[in-house]
Amino acid sequence: MSGAEPAVLILGAGPAGAAVALGLRRLGHAVAIISEWRRFAAVEGVSLRVLEGLRSAGLERALGCVAAPSQRRVQWNGTVSAQNIEYILDRPRFDAGLREDLRAAGVELVEAQVLAVEEGGRGWSVKLDDGRELCGAFLVEARGRQAPLNQKGGKARRGPETLSLLNRWQGGPGPLASAVESLPDGWAWMARLGDGRCYWQLTLDVASSQLPPREHLLDYCRERRAASLLAREFFGAGEQRELDLHARSSTAILSLEACGDNWIRVGDAAMAVDPLSGNGIFQSLSSALQAPLVINTLLRAPERAALARRFHQQRVEHLFLRFARVGRDFYASEERWAGQPFWQARRAWPDSQPSHAPADFFGLRIERAPVLRGEFVDEAEVVISADQPLGIWHLDGMELAPWLRRLRSEPEARVLADLPVERRRAFQGWLLAHGYRPRPEP
């Protein structure tokens, strides 16, 4: 590699790694990304929120590789709907777009396989399969859900063990489309691209599935598709050429130690959600967008290291649990096979807490908590609610806590009169959404 050794080494050039790299470059850090090309040419279905996340991260070239929106057919709990819109990502094209974004930002991209990662007195050493050894002061682990657990004990919280079998083949051209269906022992997602490439992914419970040996998995998948009316209608009876299979774990995993003084885990390496949500990339970006400021704090304001680590860990855990609970509720909505092992395990995990807590104005409290201020993690007063346990600092550009404190001790009319019109409307809307009811005038 050319020039001075980079201050930050990032392992993985997926959406999370790329977002961190671009954010660090904007903060003036030298960055190098080490990544292999994806070995299996998959596609993914994503929501509009993913596109918004890509735009927020500055990944414009990757965003330009996303296909036009298509309607997704959903067959769940005995009903069929076609109201959802899905965007299909062709991952080879998308990954190429990510690399273009990185090069345009001046990020050094090293295409190689990582053989070993070691921490030493001067920072980190990464050994590559081409014989090179790269060194850096800070390490970002962004190699997805299969990334090795961190060097500090490898603690993780896992959901029900889950396996996905992805089939790919070449069929005849047709309209872009996708579909999802629930099955007695799991669920299947399917997509067809305009050029005839077809994808079908079956997601199963590891503990209860009776799968044949690997050499018979393709035949097993053919039989499962043939048994599905939706799959037969979706793909038709055309020839399936160049059929292959990729098996991968899709277990939800939360790293219980996602940040240290000179390392951080982002994206699926920090928390990998159930693929049912269709928001996996969005979740990856959510943790990655905050990471540059966390890293900047650890490197340039080490006296705030504990605050920065707390900020990252709390948000990773909060996002993971929120989406785990949303997934749990969606699994619970499939009532036909509630007693089957796949559904029984997932309709009760991760806990019994509601995915969305009811509004409770009197339950609001003000606490000091880590926030992002400028280019660093700082501490400020935030408003804690049942649905926002990490707190809300700003509302429409104003700090919320001082105004809530005034409202509790002064007449409402006086407090509101001190706010500009637009902020007053935003504050009133927020209060009503959180269960506040104006006191009657005396």
Q: What is the mean pLDDT of the chain?
A: 91
Least confident range from 212-216, 271-275, 377-381: namely 271-275
pLDDT per position as a tens digit, 321-373: 999 999 999 999 999 999 999 999 999 999 999 998 888 999 999 999 999 99
| Fold equal for 8-67+87-151+252-346 and 162-249 | no
Per-residue model confidence (pLDDT) at position 2: 43
Domain boundaries defined on the chain: 8-67+87-151+252-346, 162-249, 361-433
Q: In 308-332, which positions are buried (b, 16+ CB within 10 angstroms) versus exposed (e)?
A: bbbbbbbbbbebbbbbbbbbbebbe
Per-residue model confidence (pLDDT) at position 3: 47
CATH topology of domain 8-67+87-151+252-346: FAD/NAD(P)-binding domain (3.50.50)
Query: Is a pLDDT exceeding 60 seen at residue 39?
Result: yes
Per-residue model confidence (pLDDT) at position 148: 85
The identity of residue 441, as a single letter, is E
CA distance 364 to 150: 36
The answer to whether the predicted template modeling score (pTM) of the entire model surpasses 0.85 is yes
Per-residue model confidence (pLDDT) at position 255: 94
Confidence of residue 154 (pLDDT cuts 50, 70, 90): low
In three state form, how does the secondary structure of 65-87 look?
CCCCCEEEEEEECCEEEEEEEEE
Q: Which residues contact 11 (CB under 8 A, 6 or more apart)?
A: 17, 33, 34, 35, 114, 117, 126, 139, 140, 141, 142, 143, 147
DSSP character for 268?
G
Token match 């790299």: residue? 21
Query: Is a pLDDT exceeding 80 seen at residue 83?
Result: no
Q: Which has the higher per-residue pLDDT, 373 or 44?
A: 373
Among 290, 284, 286, 266, which Cα is nearest to 371's?
290
Per-residue model confidence (pLDDT) at position 292: 97
Decide: 21 and 36 in contact? Cβ < 8 Å.
Answer: no
Query: Is a pLDDT exceeding 70 seen at residue 150?
Result: no
H or E element at residue 17 = helix 15-26
Q: How far is CA 439 from CA 410, 412, 413, 415, in A?
A: 11, 8, 10, 13
Confidence of residue 442 (pLDDT cuts 50, 70, 90): low
Helix (H, G, I), strand (E, B) or coil at 147: coil
**From 3.40.228.10, 3.30.465.10, 3.30.9.100, 3.40.50.460, which CATH number describes the 162-249 domain?**
3.30.9.100
Q: Which residues contact 420 (CB under 8 A, 6 or more apart)?
A: none
Report the Cα–Cα distance between both ends of the chain, in Å, rounded.
74
Among 34, 14, 42, which Cα is nearest to 98's?
14
CA distance 67 to 87: 6
Give mean pLDDT, residues 90-116: 93
Query: Is a pLDDT exceeding 90 seen at residue 145?
Result: no
Per-residue model confidence (pLDDT) at position 1: 43
CA distance 373 to 389: 19
